[in-house]
Amino acid sequence: MGLRQQIKTAGSEAEIDKLVSMSETYLYASDRTKNSWKSTAKNRIIELSTQDSEQTAPSKTSPVKKSSKKKN
């Protein structure tokens, strides 16, 4: 599994930070690749933070309407 895929599947911000710091040790990676890793990390952190806020926020579910049956 490549580094970008590992960042996408990381479960915590600390794990993402560890992977990004590891990416800085790659000497032969292009700037485009490094920017891609950083962008993926940023998006994943945002994704994780929105998942946390959804879990802690009270759910606002609308009541389910019963469908009326048409008479033939």
Q: How far apart are CA 55 and CA 20, in angstroms?
A: 26
Q: Are the C-beta atoms of residues 37 and 6 closer than 8 Å to each other? A: no
The pLDDT tens digits for 15-69 are 999 999 999 899 999 999 999 999 999 999 999 998 877 776 665 666 666 667 7
Among residues 72, 2, 9, the alpha carbon closest in space to that of 33 is found at 2
User: Given this model, what pLDDT does residue 3 score?
Assistant: 93
23: Cα within 13 Å, side-chain hemisphere: 25
**Terminal CA-CA length for the chain:** 58
Q: Are the C-beta atoms of residues 19 and 10 closer than 8 Å to each other? A: yes
User: Given this model, what pLDDT does residue 51 score?
Assistant: 82
